[in-house]
Amino acid sequence: MYNDEEILNFIYQNAEMGIEGIDKILSKTDDHRFREHLQGQHQEYKEIMQRAEQMLNNKHYPVKSKIPAAKVMLNTVSDAKTLFNKSPSKLAEMMIQGNTMGVVKMIKHMNDYEGNDIEVNRLAGKVIKMERTNIDKLKQFL
């Protein structure tokens, strides 16, 4: 079971990894339209991360950043998957996989959420909606 602190830190870390992933993908593409789309996603993740941090601070909970090993793994997997193919299609596929993983994990966390804070539920719902929308918008690049 998860409490407010754990859910908010999960949301923070999910957004943090989304930003890291987008930064990595942006460094691999010159496609203007794809870059523009990713920059919009980047901004959405940044806003969610800031909101989660604000909520954690308001509740006097510590903000827990993603562990460095997870970031190293993200970079290693990203580099391996794009070694021979950096097309927008391949990069969009990777982003769709990341967003799908984010939706699944967020739903699982919320199913085990023992709290009843309306703002926490709203923010989690916003994450799920945003990532589902990202998936739909990324399909155009496949």
Give the CATH number, domain containing residue 26. Answer: 1.20.1260.10
Q: Is the pLDDT of residue 7 over 90?
A: yes
What is residue 66's predicted lDDT score, i.e. its pLDDT?
A: 77
What is residue 67's predicted lDDT score, i.e. its pLDDT?
A: 65
What is residue 4's predicted lDDT score, i.e. its pLDDT?
A: 98
CA distance 48 to 31: 26
pLDDT in tens, 75-132: 566 666 665 778 999 999 999 999 999 999 999 999 999 999 999 999 999 999 999 9
Its domain, for residue 63, covers 4-141
Domain count, the chain: 1
What is residue 2's predicted lDDT score, i.e. its pLDDT?
A: 96
Q: Answer yes or no: pTM beyond 0.85.
A: yes
Query: Which amino acid, one-letter code, is at 28?
Result: K
pLDDT in tens, 49-64: 999 999 999 999 999 9
Tokens representing residue 3 in the block: 């409490």
